[in-house]
């Protein structure tokens, strides 16, 4: 009898302990819902050209991110590291790929609206035709948990650098 009671007690304790760190999947707390980032379809991919040839296709494929409270400036921040797939389109000897991308909040409370541009440089040695690159993190102020604010991310096409958007 004692063994049965001990077993039931242990089972009850184990069941309760497993619930301590449990977060329901439908919980939209700032920790599980941040950051909410959408890739702008019209700015998802660009082609870089030189001497009339298409050299590289740069495509935004996803991101990694998190949120935190910046005590120094008393604001919530969303940190985003975009992931790119870079494809060599022709047999060329160019190894340095430079491009820029943006993070933007275009909707929501006025004091959180804004757009920041970030620059990336990737070394793609001759003979390598495709790589996946995760850029350094960029960050924006965001009202975490207070409003449903969407962040957007996309590539900048700079005509002066012979870049154009892929449609």
The CATH class of the 25-165 domain is mainly beta
Which residue's entry shows tokens 């998190």?
A: 66
Instruction: Identify the burial level of 100 via C-beta atoms within 10 angstroms of its C-beta, where 0-12 means exposed, 13-18 middle and 19 or more buried.
Output: middle
How far apart CA 80 and CA 30 sit, in angstroms, is 15
Q: Where are the domains of the chain?
A: 25-165
How far apart CA 138 and CA 151 sit, in angstroms, is 12
**Predicted TM-score (pTM) above 0.95:** no
pLDDT of residue 30: 42
Q: What is the DSSP letter of 84?
A: E
- Give the chain's residues under pLDDT 50: 3-32
């Amino acid at each position: 009898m004692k063994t049965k009671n001990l077993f039931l007690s242990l089972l009850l304790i184990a069941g309760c302990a497993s619930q301590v760190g449990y977060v329901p999947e439908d919980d939209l707390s700032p920790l599980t819902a941040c950051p909410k980032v959408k890739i702008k379809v019209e700015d998802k991919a660009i082609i870089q050209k030189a001497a009339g040839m298409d050299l590289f296709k740069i495509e935004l494929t996803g991101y990694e991110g998190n949120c935190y409270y910046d005590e120094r400036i008393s604001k919530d921040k969303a940190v985003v590291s975009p992931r790119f797939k870079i494809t060599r389109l022709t047999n060329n000897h160019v190894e340095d790929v430079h491009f820029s991308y943006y993070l933007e909040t275009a909707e929501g409370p006025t004091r959180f609206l804004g757009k920041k541009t970030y620059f990336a440089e990737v070394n793609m040695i001759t003979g390598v035709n495709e790589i996946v690159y995760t850029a350094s993190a960029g960050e924006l102020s965001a009202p975490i948990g207070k409003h449903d604010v969407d962040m957007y991310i996309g590539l900048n096409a700079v005509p002066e650098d012979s870049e154009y958007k892929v449609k």
